[in-house]
Chains A and B, each alone.
Chain A
Amino acid sequence: MMQTNNQKLIEVRGLGKMFTLHNQGGIRLPVLRAIDFDASRGECLVLSGRSGTGKSTLLRCLYGNYLATEGTIRLRDTSEASEPWVELTNAPEQRVLKLRRDVIGYVSQFLRAIPRVSALDVVADPLQQRGASHEEARARAATLLERLNLPRRLWDLPPATFSGGEQQRVNIARGLIGGHPILLLDEPTASLDADNRAVVIELIREALAEGRSLIGIFHDEAVRDAVATRMLPLQPATALA
């Protein structure tokens, strides 16, 4: 893959997120205000700030899971040579789905298990969506699960009954497999033991070396120090009058 070093992949300007709770008297909760940052290839941007400063909310806005209330989020879709920049904040749903398939991946805190789908297929799915064959995707999924020390006897079982740490490793493998240039990570190591944390650190470093751009929340200081190339401190958005 041809790529420019330090190529900018994300540009966020004046991003704000306000929740309006219509069924609770229309209370307005400002969570994010005036967020500005860029992120480039090879960078791991770590969001910091106390609980409630909107770290997860920011990740969800970047994924199009939450709608930004103000400001813009622009992402570079490297598969589109002529007009690579897409403004997520007003892209049609079709475009957002394509961005999620090809450009931006998201590892949520908790795996959303699908009844009857095996761990191996849960992991293989994003690669298959990008056009890989079933066998190819499953082989790559197996490699990742192997590295993450998920016991082989679990591979053909649906992850609903797995432990928290096992589910988290399935989730990480699913997030990494698609090769998305931009990857959002919400506390990917929260329920892992030291050995598996070390594997995740390794995988993150490999992703950065491949020129991917990561934005993550890591409460574990050791992990944070091992992967962060830059910190993005978030302040609590003050309540509006």
Chain B
Amino acid sequence: MNATPLLSVRNLTHTWDGVHGCHDVNFDLYPGEVLCVVGESGSGKSTLLQALSMQVKAQRGSVSYDMRESGLTDLAGLSSARMRLLARTDWGFVRQHARDGLRMQVSAGANIAERLMAVGNRHYGDLREIAGAWLEKMEIDLARLDDVPTTFSGGMQQRLQIARNLVTHPRLVFMDEPTASLDVSVQARLLDLMRRLVTDLGLAAILVTHDLAVARLLAHRTLVMQGGRVVEQGLTDQILDDPQHPYTQLLVSSILQG
């Protein structure tokens, strides 16, 4: 058990129009922990993800991160250059639609190598070797290294996007509905890969999803949002098996029994 949280969120509020968005969110995320944010469309979960990852500047509250050099630091005080460096080395962002997170016109290998080049790794042979290793780790045929992502299936694109993010060994990955646009059969493979990666690499992740089965499979803890507020949070199995809040009870009772 770690005493210092990796990410500490206090009273975080961001609304687009004074109403819609997220209100007064509080939680700590510890290294290696996977936290799921669930809730219906419009519940504010994507806004929360944007505010947590500093893609929008929150109107109130704070997000602190355990920086490698300065410890738990309020991110609002970071220069934009340091924020950019943090975001592309120690963080990852996996988007719902792979085309939003990949460069579709450059090769798979270049997609993976981009972050490494951004932090000064220029050796072509090394980059190619690392990119190849990641392709294989993501169960993509090495022969596809020079192909552009437009020639990949949706599931392969999503796996490529994950590789592109993990190549710098981030400690925290933000994921927005990473499986939502995939066929069920393809989802299972991606989920299994994600499950293994978070365990093997000790990654912490914040995962937005409306799929409670995804939360059950991947997340240690779950946070339930409704109307922009966190209405319940706890261990994932407790939230799903003994939900306390009326909205969580409705959500859980709406799952189809397979």
A22 to B246, CA, bound (A): 5
Of the candidates B217, B238, B244, B249, the one whose C-beta lies within 8 Å of that of A65 is B238
A97 to B220, CA, bound (A): 8
A98 to B1, CA, bound (A): 7
Whether, in the assembled complex, B181 has its beta carbon less than 8 Å from a beta carbon of chain A, the answer is no
A65 to B238, CA, bound (A): 5
Give the residues from 74 to 103 in chain A that come closer than 8 angstroms, CB to CB, to chain B: 93-98
Residues of B within 8 A of A115 (CB): 188-189, 191-192
A219 to B188, CA, bound (A): 36
Q: Beyond A23-B246, A97-B235, is A60–B189 a contact (Cβ under 8 Å)?
A: no
Contact mask B115-147 → A, CB, 8 Å, 1/0? 000000000000000000000000000000000
- Cross-chain contact A60 with B220 (CB below 8 angstroms): no
Whether, in the assembled complex, A216 has its beta carbon less than 8 Å from a beta carbon of chain B, the answer is no
- Cross-chain contact A66 with B188 (CB below 8 angstroms): no
Interface residues on A, range: 20 to 34
CB distance from A218 to the nearest CB of B (A): 22
- Decide if the interface of chain B is mainly helix, strand, loop or mixed: helix
Whether, in the assembled complex, A116 has its beta carbon less than 8 Å from a beta carbon of chain B, the answer is yes
CB distance from A116 to the nearest CB of B (A): 4
Give the residues from 212 to 257 in chain B that come closer than 8 angstroms, CB to CB, to chain A: 216-217, 220-221, 234-235, 237-238, 241-242, 244-246, 249-250, 253
Residues of A within 8 A of B241 (CB): 60, 65-66
- Cross-chain contact A67 with B188 (CB below 8 angstroms): no
CB distance from B226 to the nearest CB of A (A): 13
Residues of B within 8 A of A178 (CB): none
- Cross-chain contact B1 with A22 (CB below 8 angstroms): no
Interface centre among B234, B238, B250, B253 (most CB of A within 10 A): B238
Residues of B within 8 A of A19 (CB): 242
Residues of A within 8 A of B237 (CB): 65
Interface centre among B189, B217, B221, B235 (most CB of A within 10 A): B235
- Cross-chain contact B191 with A23 (CB below 8 angstroms): no
A3 to B30, CA, bound (A): 32
Q: Beyond A65-B241, A98-B1, A115-B188, is A93–B234 a contact (Cβ under 8 Å)?
A: yes
Residues of A within 8 A of B249 (CB): 21-23
CB distance from A167 to the nearest CB of B (A): 15
Q: Beyond A94-B30, A98-B1, is A67–B242 a contact (Cβ under 8 Å)?
A: yes
Whether, in the assembled complex, B195 has its beta carbon less than 8 Å from a beta carbon of chain A, the answer is yes
Residues of B within 8 A of A20 (CB): 244
Residues of A within 8 A of B30 (CB): 94
Interface residues of B, CB < 8 Å — how many? 23
Whether, in the assembled complex, A231 has its beta carbon less than 8 Å from a beta carbon of chain B, the answer is no
Interface centre among A19, A23, A98, A112 (most CB of B within 10 A): A23
- Cross-chain contact B195 with A114 (CB below 8 angstroms): yes
- Cross-chain contact A116 with B192 (CB below 8 angstroms): yes
Whether, in the assembled complex, A117 has its beta carbon less than 8 Å from a beta carbon of chain B, the answer is yes
A114 to B195, CA, bound (A): 10
A102 to B188, CA, bound (A): 29
Whether, in the assembled complex, A64 has its beta carbon less than 8 Å from a beta carbon of chain B, the answer is yes
Residues of A within 8 A of B244 (CB): 20, 67
CB distance from B254 to the nearest CB of A (A): 10
A66 to B234, CA, bound (A): 11
A22 to B234, CA, bound (A): 19
A104 to B221, CA, bound (A): 18
A35 to B238, CA, bound (A): 21
Give the residues from 101 to 147 in chain A that come closer than 8 angstroms, CB to CB, to chain B: 112, 114-117
A171 to B124, CA, bound (A): 48
- Cross-chain contact A65 with B242 (CB below 8 angstroms): yes
Of the candidates B1, B235, B238, B253, the one whose C-beta lies within 8 Å of that of A23 is B253
Residue of A nearest to B1 (CB): A98
A116 to B140, CA, bound (A): 17
Residues of B within 8 A of A95 (CB): 1
A202 to B38, CA, bound (A): 43
List 9 other contacts, CB 8 Å, given A98-B1, A117-B192.
A22-B250, A23-B250, A65-B241, A66-B241, A93-B220, A93-B235, A94-B1, A114-B217, A115-B191
The 10 A-B residue pairs with the shortest CB-CB distance, nearest first, are A22-B246, A115-B188, A66-B242, A116-B192, A98-B1, A93-B235, A22-B249, A65-B237, A23-B250, A65-B241
